[in-house]
Structure 1
Amino acid sequence: MTQLAGVLFDMDGTLVDSEKVWSVGLAELAVHHGGTLSDAARHAMVGTNMAESMRILHEDLGRPDLDDAYSVEWLERRVAELFAAGLLWRPGAADLLTAVRAAGIPAALVTATSRHLVEVALETIGAHFFAAVVCGDDLPETKPHPAPYLRAAELIGARPAACVAIEDSPNGIRSALAAGCTVLGVPCEVDLGHLADVTLVDSLEKVDVAYLRGLL
């Protein structure tokens, strides 16, 4: 059996219930642009990078002419305010982070969110849990490209094949699988039942270090 050398955690929807915070910001941005964001468009955004999310939003509003940079700046400013007000943990996430740290297993945070927002979120989550943090604006490619997970494994000195990645979105799962990681999926806003090569649990309350080791 391969020894567990690292645990790579997604953030939004996996550790903290921040997808709902993003939903608030996106809905407000749509109103700011004079429209209403559809449920289908919001669903399609989960796990995508910021550029893709803005494309989806603008097309959903029938306004592909809108400036991406302006929308990103407006949204990230609002989400930073919401993050600073506090984030709610996903069930079992805080206990699992604590257990991984206590076991001496390096952990990394791997997220498509921009670093300046991640730094706000880490005030709730705890930066001390992570030996490395890879953010959406750190690399030219983000999820579903394998680069973020490859970089995270490199930073903690582990082979991707000896790491378990924990994700809640299809794009994140595809990224981790493409990097060669074993993947544990924990659905939040999006159903993951159609995906192959991923173990699914409905809550991290059911996961401990022994469970993660057993996945390899």
Structure 2
Amino acid sequence: MNTSLPAATLWDMDGTIVDTEPYWMASQARLVSRFGGTWTHEAALSLVGSGLDVTGQTLQKFGVELEVGEIIDLLTNEVMEQISVEVPWRPGARELLRALREAHIPSALVTMSFRVMAEHVRSFIPFDAFDVVVSGDSVENSKPHPEAYVTAARLLAVPITSCVAFEDSISGVTSAAASGAITIGVPHILPLDDTPATVLWDTLEGRTLDDVAALFAAHRDSSRIHPQTGR
């Protein structure tokens, strides 16, 4: 085994691999409006990276008179329909995923979207990107709880401390870091400066296997890493 490479990489989906947050926000706004309410940008931002149960409960507070499960199904179906029309890939994500796969590094998709949504997005990736999927409906505790990342490492049969996680949200970074994974924060909708990310990369575009290996080796060797560039 090449000890300069992580045992596995663990990937968030919404906001990290695909820029679906605008899809979710638009669907939330339509649903609240349907029940005579007004959705706010602040409320939408508060849900970025959260579990769908939290989303459902929040929309109920804004007047949506449906059960949480009904809200989740409605939102998920609408977002999946939008993805079928256009997959909003985040820059560099697929390219880095492919490089990791070609290096035979196991990968897990760790998302708070439900499995049906995760598999839908996965189906548009033109290669077999993931060994396992941990979804919001397969864990008891949503991010920022570390359960999803701990579960992914267990399913891959690797130590969580030998894994590198990719996240874009505050709750996601908190979850991955609390699990013990080396955590790369890739800010998108919200800044991640005050999160426990190991490093922040402003984009995945242009990032390579060498960048991941260097980060892993530096962390393993307890080297100091610049918090903004990871170099």
Same fold (TM over 0.5): yes
Partner of 2:219: none
How many residues matched?
214
Secondary structure at 1:137 match in 2: helix
Partner of 1:121: 121
- Post-superposition CA distance 1:162-201 (Å, at most 9, x none): 1000000111111111111000000111111111343101
Partner of 1:166: 166
Letter in 2 for 1:54: G
- Post-superposition CA distance 1:107-137 (Å, at most 9, x none): 1110000011112111223561111111110
The alignment yields a C-alpha RMSD, in angstroms, of: 1.8
Q: For residues 85 and 158 of structure 2, what CA distance do their matches in structure 1 show? A: 35
Equivalent residues of 1:86, 1:124 under 8 A apart: no
Partner of 2:21: 19
Correspondence list, 1:80-159, <5 A: 80-126=80-126, 128-159=128-159
Partner of 1:58: 60
Q: Structure 2 vs 1, CA of residues 64 and 32 (structure 1 numbering), >3 Å: closer, same or farther?
A: closer
Secondary structure at 1:124 match in 2: coil
Q: For residues 124 and 15 of structure 2, what CA distance do their matches in structure 1 show? A: 14
Secondary structure at 1:99 match in 2: helix
Q: Structure 2 vs 1, CA of residues 21 and 65 (structure 1 numbering), >3 Å: closer, same or farther?
A: closer
Q: How far off is 1:2 after superposition?
A: 6.1
Q: For residues 3 and 82 of structure 1, what CA distance do their matches in structure 2 show? A: 36
Letter in 1 for 2:162: A
Q: For residues 126 and 148 of structure 2, what CA distance do their matches in structure 1 show? A: 20
Q: Normalization by structure 1: what TM-score? A: 0.92
Q: For residues 197 and 16 of structure 1, what CA distance do their matches in structure 2 show? A: 20
Q: Among all aligned residue pairs of Structure 1 and Structure 2, give the percentage whose two residues are the same amino acid.
A: 36
Letter in 1 for 2:149: Y
Q: Structure 2 vs 1, CA of residues 32 and 166 (structure 1 numbering), >3 Å: closer, same or farther?
A: same
Q: How far off is 1:77 after superposition?
A: 2.3
Structure 2 stretches of 5 or more lacking a match?
A: 217-231
Partner of 1:211: 211
Structure 1 stretches of 5 or more lacking a match?
A: none
Which residue of 5, 8, 20 corresponds with 2:7?
A: 5
Q: How far off is 1:55 after superposition?
A: 2.3
Which shows bigger deviation, 140-149 or 80-89? 80-89
Equivalent residues of 2:165, 2:182 under 8 A apart: yes
Q: How far off is 1:68 after superposition?
A: 2.1
